[in-house]
Amino acid sequence: MKAMSSFFVLLHLTLCLTLHPHLIVARQNFGSTLITKACERSAHQEFCLNVLNADPNSQTADLKGLAFNALRYTSTNVTDTSVFIKQSLSNTDELDPIVEQALTDCNDVYLSTADLIDDSINALVSNAYPDVDKWVKAAVANIDTCEASVTNKTGSALEVSHKNRILRQLCNTALSVVHVLANN
């Protein structure tokens, strides 16, 4: 009897070790397929794919999880940009007055942009996809307002302009995933 139970334990262990790598590959293939589907409507598909594939959690996430990952990444970048703007404004002695005003305008805009992205995440959790769409589009409008202030400026303003372009693409990535989710 003891030999028989040892056999079953060994058989179970062998099957688990044999099948486990295949299950991981299948799960990763499922993640890649879902990421591709989530990015199919994106105007910047390669950017979308890179953003979602950069997060290891995306490989096992469903569409809502992918949307959450995109919004979380956007939120982090909004915060980082806001901190950069504040740090740039802390050195007002070195700033051209026109650049200082542009950064001040962006600082004001980015405070509400962070709130809009947070509202979008809360709406996603509540399955209020039209609200996610509305808040993310409002965030893009804020980013565009900041961009209008820093366009053709030098120094820190030029860096903010670069960050604005990335954030706009992140917002568009999040919107693309949410649109696929809402239509699924």
Q: Which stretches of 40-59 are DSSP H helices?
A: 45-54
Residues 6 or more apart whose CB falls under 8 angstroms from that of 1 comprise: none
pTM of the model: 0.81
Q: Assess contact for 41 and 179: CB atoms under 8 A.
A: yes
CATH number for the domain spanning 8: value is 1.20.140.40
Number of domains within the chain:
1
Count of C-beta atoms within a 10 Å radius of residue 184: 10
In 3D space, the residue among 34, 9, 23, 50 whose CA is nearest the CA of residue 181 turns out to be: 34
Largest Cα span, the chain: 87
Note down the domain range covering 113.
Answer: 2-182
**Tens digit of each residue's pLDDT, the chain (184 residues):** 454 444 443 334 344 444 444 333 334 444 578 999 999 989 999 999 999 999 998 999 999 999 999 999 999 999 999 999 999 999 878 889 999 999 999 999 999 999 999 999 999 999 999 999 999 999 999 999 999 999 999 999 999 999 999 999 999 999 999 999 999 8
Classify residue 95 by its DSSP letter: S
